[in-house]
Structure 1
Amino acid sequence: MDQVRRGTGRRLRITRSAASPCQGEAVTKGAGRLRRPGANTESETMALNTLRNIFSPLAAVLAFLVPVVAVIWVLSIPQRMGFLIYPEQVAALLLGAALCVVFGRAVAKASGPLAWLDAALSLLALGLGLWVFVRFPTLTEGSHLHPTEAYWLGVIVTLLVLEGLRRVVGWTLVVITAAMFAYALWGNLVPGPLRGRGQPLEDVMRFIGTDSAATWGAALQIAAFVVVIFVLFGGLLLAVGGGDFFTQLATRVAGRGPGNTAKVAVVASGLFGSISGSAVSNVMSTGVMTIPMMRRSGFRDDQAGAIEAVASTGGQLAPPVMGAAAFLMAELLQMPYGDILLAAILPAALYYLSLYFQIDFIARRDGHAEADWIEKMGLRTVLTKGWLPLGAFVVLLGAIFAWDMRAEVAAIWALGLIVGVALALWAVRRASGSASGTGPALSPKEVAATICKTGSQVCDVLLICAAAGMIIGLLATTGLGFSLSLFLIQFGGSNLFGLLLITGLVGIVLGLGLPTTGVYLLLATMAAPALVQLGIPALAAHMFVFYYGMLSMITPPIAMAAFAAASISGAPQLKTGVQAFKFGWIAYFLPFLFIYKPGLLMAGPWWEITYVFASALIALILVSAAIIGHGLTHLAPPVRALALVTGVLIIAPLRQFGPPVLEFGISFAGLVMIVAYVVLLRGSQRAMAKG
């Protein structure tokens, strides 16, 4: 899931060095030594060290418990033991633990009074989670009987979540959440169709602190009980060699032909990203290997960084994990997660095929020969070494599709296989006295470390989803969601394409300051209902906003995935972002195809699905060749223009404006162009060989 730390959320401290005489320091005498004002005394330093020694282990223990508690709840262990517990209680407990971890981590970095403040906030957050866990059944059914308690509960959770958000993702989501609170209080002052009704502060805070439709609702529960499980699955998969397995498999699949280093990077980053679900972390994990490899084979620094950024970002679109937003989509649509995976297959395939063809055309244009220095293992060797990650995938997908399990339960079965086999191998090695051997063994300490790392990673997602729950609840209770949907429906009734265009632009703009999960939740609440009311299938509407929530990762001026890749390649950030925008061009068109050609989402008869995919493939080949100016050979300007126009017309929903034969005819013409080009080129090459 995209956990990007903005600089606005960090605390800046200036430390003055004694070796720097130009600081204008005043000094005071005390106990025979010189001390700068504000500097820690020896006793203060000891107290801070003691504080850090307390909160660092506390944060580690709570980070470990977050995934463990999630697994226990998903397996329904409390219910089987006869305990009656609401899911909101467990979600509140995990949110309190996540907030405690966030503030507890800050204790180690802060100094002076700020460290003590962070420690106090950490304990307050833990107390909040425990308090809601104990008192939620009483407060949710009778908050009016405990108005003061409910009010202060809402105040505390709001302040803690907003301050935690400021630290982990910056100010954007904090400002949006604060704006929703302001609307709830003073919506009656808003002019026009979005006018609301003002509510007393006490009522708003009681709602936030005790209602199941707000903080403790569906958004937080999905993050706590689904996203956490899949992040843990991904972490354990990588711990037993999943990353090496993906890389070697990518080498076997795409390790030949011009530009083979970049093709390997695309496949490896796509496979890795489909598990990690985070574009930036994927770039930083695989990019350190793939970017230097691409540069060595002749790709420019900005091209190498952009290719890695686009490939890593696509991991959020590719099954089986697709990041946190896909789980939220399944819950909001009340649809099996397997149906979401099926709908995502063809768009993800087109996304990566587009990148693959562009790499091939660039490599041919710039003369990048096949890099024969890439180490390639035999396919049997790759599968033999990666049998455990492969087996975990089989269990995951089999449980979802064959046994119709919930996605989170299927993931627990898969991670159970990983942990059981890895610990068994470790025990066998230890019993035999062998320090090494074949097989992905993990010691109990390594398993615990992976679980702890997972808990630390998901804290940011839990905070984001808690804030999203507040926003969703306030949209419902103020009526703004209904008013906004009505306004968009009236606009879209006269211009659906304009509504889609505005929704896409809003998604990209929001994504400049928010992770994909946050953008999707906002747009799924505000814009998707309007699209559904206009007759667009719910899945298509939600996939549309999901894609545009992700595109900010590769869209300048703040293309976070591209900027992360630029830090590895050494290329200018903006130049890398522009290249990423060009390489990922297909992703800006695909969401419109979801609306106008729903066969791309596996909706409709098989011939319609086949036609939509085949025509889109023809279009992306033509447009990619036109953009680069090269296919198998150099393309003259008139040929480029013809390829570009034909490709765009194939993508366009011409059936909406004319007879179907028009669209089918242009698609067929595009296919004829590609076939004729290949046949003529082959004929020319044979003639030259004979001559």
Structure 2
Amino acid sequence: MPAPAFRKTLLSPAFVIGLAFVAFQAWILLTPQQPLFERPVHLTFALVLLFLTKPLNAPALPLWARRAIDGLLILATLGVGAYYLLDFQRLTTRMENVSPVFDRDLWAGVVLVALLLEGARRAVGMILVGVLAVFIAYAFWGNLLPGWLSFRGFGLDAAIEISTMTTAGVLGITTSTSVNFIFYFILFGAFYAAAGGGQLFIDLAIRIAGRATGGTAKAAVISSSLMGSISGSAVANVVSTGVLTIPLMKRTGVPGHRAAGIEAIASTGGQLMPPIMGVAAFIMAEMLNVPYARVALAGLIPAVAFYLALLLVVDLTARRDNVRAMTAAEVAAVDPILPRLHLLLPPLILIGALVWGYSAAYSAVIASVSCFIVPFLRRNTWIGWSALVEGLREAPRQAAEVAVPIASIGLVIAVAVQSNLALKFAGSLVTLAEGSIFLSLALAMVGCIIMGMGLPTVAAYIIGAVLFVPAIQNLGVEPLAAHFFIFYYCVLSMVTPPVALASFAAAAVGDAPVMKTSWSAFGLSLVAFFVPFSFVFDPAILWEGTAPQIAAGAAAMLASTTLWAIAFAGWCGRSLGPLARVLIGAAGLVAVIAPTGSLPWGVGFGCGWAMVVCVYVLARRGIAQERAIAL
């Protein structure tokens, strides 16, 4: 970073406030405070940073007017923060529905909700604001709706009390997760990228897979899975790795929309990949009241199955379409890996700290500190002050862009729970499905995908968990499996047309048609689309059961998704006809969905692999005959 830019960054208000944000989070990690002190201060920092780093974009207004509006919003945020600091003792000890609601409570609550709506708009767009507006309207005018949707509605006092004065609304589980988990893992991701870890992942993937058939696409999948497991954000992963991998794929013959689609689905899958996964995984741990390490362990087998199936599809389609591998010269142009291999230590330190028993937050902080120690183990990876400044600038900014939208989702939780909408919705879903677990799961799947279009994964997951998980659990499904089912489809909604945030980002990076990119990414996601059904019927896949049961479930999952991948790629030594693809795909689908070891699973698994072996043997014989004729 040039010296003038370096000084400008250090003196910018956003950097100074971001540094104070980091210092505050370090203090409460060492000296925990009351929830109604920690969470409002965290949210105040996040809102101020968001308004500073994402200024109002309204070209119709003059610049001074836009800056004045931003300034008023920041002052309003500070005012709300001061209200919570002065009154947190009263708010902590008051009795809900008994203690009075004062005028200052109403003013602060209304202003906070307005600030969150504007912050959510700037962070993720109008779709989330629309969802929030629907639930706010339902809170006041739910009595106007017919049937089971109807409820008496809240007055302003009750609405503000449950939404902003307790730990059940915007200061509830979502903000708690941001305070206690998400901030520290975002800090680690930003520090690791600044220390050169992201570039190492990309270069390592090229060295591993570049010379293989479809090597650039495989390198994109590998690097995005590695980086995605650290960043936990599909869009951020697309932007960080896609700027290199998409042009690289295009140079080796992969069409632009397909290259962007591969990057979009590979980056999206990073939210399923331990050790960090996505932001929603931390909230899942809070909702289930289990250690985050348990959630990460449960996600291991599905994530491996997802990426192996994706790699197989990429490989088979590259063979089908004759996509060239990278040349030896292109691979050799990548900086050597061995002199930088020690940069893999920070993620390993993170995993080791989690396994050793440290809390998730402490583990992330230890790994974050290591990011600025490990590079000095070898002279060639030394970093300067600019890397530290870059990490300290990016971490608070990224944390703010996550904290504000998920805090606003607390409004949805408060309304859905207090109005009994969640329970009534669960009952109606069971009635609609007439007690069929398959139909209930299918309806929940469709609901998650529709709801997730245009929403961040975490927002879609929280709403899905509130509305759909109770209904799935009422059918006898274990809580962990029910939450993972919803989580998985909310992740895949990032690449589901017509609104697919990860695909849109990849199309922009790769200068590719948006809808063609979206459909390409969605088509690639189908290789693992029905995997969540296996969670419900085979708990071993989520690491529940004995070691032999878990090993058998994992092997069956990988073999079953392989069948499904072969059918979608349409290649098995030679191009597959429509009938062969349908038959292998149907067998693979049965094997994926049916419980491991059951009769339907055995029939699907056996028939599918028998067809694959026959096709492959016939293909090899055909090639041998062609060679004999040529000779």
2:70 aligns with 118
User: 1:438 aligned to 2:380?
Assistant: yes
Matches of 2:473 and 2:462 in 1, distance apart? 16
2:350 aligns with 396
User: 1:416 aligned to 2:354?
Assistant: no
Residues 549 and 61 (structure 1), Cα distance of their counterparts in 2 relative to 1, 3 Å cut: same
Matches of 1:55 and 1:123 in 2, distance apart? 22
Residues 664 and 58 (structure 1), Cα distance of their counterparts in 2 relative to 1, 3 Å cut: same
Gaps of 5+ in 1: 1-52, 80-84, 426-435
AA in 1 matched with 2:354: I
Worse-superposed segment, 250-259 or 221-230: 250-259
1:141 aligns with 93
Residue of 628, 634, 639 corresponding to 2:575: 634
Matches of 1:198 and 1:140 in 2, distance apart? 26
Matches of 2:450 and 2:493 in 1, distance apart? 7
Q: How does 1:442-453 map to 2 (within 5 A)?
A: 442-443=384-385, 445-453=386-394
Contact 1:251 1:376 in 2 (8 A): yes
User: 1:239 aligned to 2:239?
Assistant: no
User: 1:674 aligned to 2:629?
Assistant: no
Q: How does 1:214-363 map to 2 (within 5 A)?
A: 214-363=169-318
The structural deviation recorded for 1:231 is 0.7
SS in 1 for 2:184: helix
The structural deviation recorded for 1:204 is 1.5
1:301-330 deviations in Å (ceiling 9; x for gaps): 121111111111111111111111011111
Residue of 604, 610, 615 corresponding to 2:556: 615
Residue of 152, 176, 192 corresponding to 1:197: 152
Residues 412 and 581 (structure 1), Cα distance of their counterparts in 2 relative to 1, 3 Å cut: same
1:415-436 deviations in Å (ceiling 9; x for gaps): 12223455x67xxxxxxxxxx9
1:277-302 deviations in Å (ceiling 9; x for gaps): 11122112111211111111111112
Contact 1:274 1:319 in 2 (8 A): yes
User: 1:524 aligned to 2:465?
Assistant: yes
Matches of 1:332 and 1:374 in 2, distance apart? 51
Residues 198 and 642 (structure 1), Cα distance of their counterparts in 2 relative to 1, 3 Å cut: closer
Residue of 99, 102, 115 corresponding to 2:47: 99
Residues 376 and 515 (structure 1), Cα distance of their counterparts in 2 relative to 1, 3 Å cut: same
Contact 1:603 1:609 in 2 (8 A): yes
Matches of 1:116 and 1:253 in 2, distance apart? 52
Residues 227 and 54 (structure 1), Cα distance of their counterparts in 2 relative to 1, 3 Å cut: closer
SS in 2 for 1:558: coil
Matches of 2:394 and 2:9 in 1, distance apart? 19
AA in 2 matched with 1:124: A
Residues 135 and 653 (structure 1), Cα distance of their counterparts in 2 relative to 1, 3 Å cut: same
The structural deviation recorded for 1:406 is 1.7
TM-score relative to the length of structure 1: 0.83
AA in 1 matched with 2:66: L
Residues 199 and 684 (structure 1), Cα distance of their counterparts in 2 relative to 1, 3 Å cut: closer
Matches of 1:605 and 1:68 in 2, distance apart? 44
SS in 2 for 1:256: coil
AA in 1 matched with 2:462: L
User: 1:480 aligned to 2:394?
Assistant: no
1:533 aligns with 474
Matches of 2:447 and 2:232 in 1, distance apart? 22
Residues 107 and 195 (structure 1), Cα distance of their counterparts in 2 relative to 1, 3 Å cut: closer
2:4 aligns with none
SS in 2 for 1:519: helix
Matches of 2:236 and 2:602 in 1, distance apart? 42
AA in 1 matched with 2:608: G
Contact 1:485 1:530 in 2 (8 A): yes
The structural deviation recorded for 1:380 is 13
Contact 1:172 1:514 in 2 (8 A): yes
AA in 2 matched with 1:69: F
2:81 aligns with 129
Contact 2:540 2:553 in 1 (8 A): yes
1:45 aligns with none
Matches of 1:636 and 1:603 in 2, distance apart? 39
The structural deviation recorded for 1:136 is 1.3
Residues 665 and 200 (structure 1), Cα distance of their counterparts in 2 relative to 1, 3 Å cut: closer
The structural deviation recorded for 1:649 is 2.6
Contact 2:256 2:510 in 1 (8 A): yes
Contact 2:272 2:303 in 1 (8 A): yes
Contact 1:136 1:210 in 2 (8 A): no
User: 1:407 aligned to 2:360?
Assistant: yes
Residues 146 and 664 (structure 1), Cα distance of their counterparts in 2 relative to 1, 3 Å cut: closer
User: 1:382 aligned to 2:337?
Assistant: yes
Matches of 1:454 and 1:365 in 2, distance apart? 43
Residues 625 and 165 (structure 1), Cα distance of their counterparts in 2 relative to 1, 3 Å cut: same
User: 1:567 aligned to 2:508?
Assistant: yes
Q: Percent identity?
A: 34
1:139-170 deviations in Å (ceiling 9; x for gaps): 23237356222222211211111122222222
Matches of 2:257 and 2:329 in 1, distance apart? 22
SS in 1 for 2:381: coil
The structural deviation recorded for 1:54 is 14
Residues 564 and 465 (structure 1), Cα distance of their counterparts in 2 relative to 1, 3 Å cut: closer
Contact 1:623 1:647 in 2 (8 A): yes
TM-score relative to the length of structure 2: 0.91
Residues 559 and 178 (structure 1), Cα distance of their counterparts in 2 relative to 1, 3 Å cut: closer
User: 1:211 aligned to 2:166?
Assistant: yes
The structural deviation recorded for 1:688 is 6.0
The structural deviation recorded for 1:528 is 0.9
User: 1:153 aligned to 2:95?
Assistant: no
> Larger C-alpha radius of gyration, 1 or 2?
1
1:353-401 deviations in Å (ceiling 9; x for gaps): 122111211121122233224654799952441313x211221111111
Residues 385 and 375 (structure 1), Cα distance of their counterparts in 2 relative to 1, 3 Å cut: farther
Matches of 2:271 and 2:183 in 1, distance apart? 16
Q: How many residues align?
A: 615
1:543-562 deviations in Å (ceiling 9; x for gaps): 11111112222111122222
Matches of 2:551 and 2:487 in 1, distance apart? 23
Residues 158 and 582 (structure 1), Cα distance of their counterparts in 2 relative to 1, 3 Å cut: same
Contact 1:262 1:294 in 2 (8 A): yes
2:518 aligns with 577
1:589 aligns with 530
2:5 aligns with none
1:558 aligns with 499
Matches of 1:380 and 1:113 in 2, distance apart? 49
1:113-161 deviations in Å (ceiling 9; x for gaps): 3321220110110221232123112123237356222222211211111
1:40 aligns with none
SS in 2 for 1:494: coil
Residues 105 and 56 (structure 1), Cα distance of their counterparts in 2 relative to 1, 3 Å cut: farther
Worse-superposed segment, 294-303 or 229-238: 294-303
AA in 2 matched with 1:634: S
Matches of 1:278 and 1:374 in 2, distance apart? 33
The structural deviation recorded for 1:679 is 4.8
SS in 1 for 2:129: helix
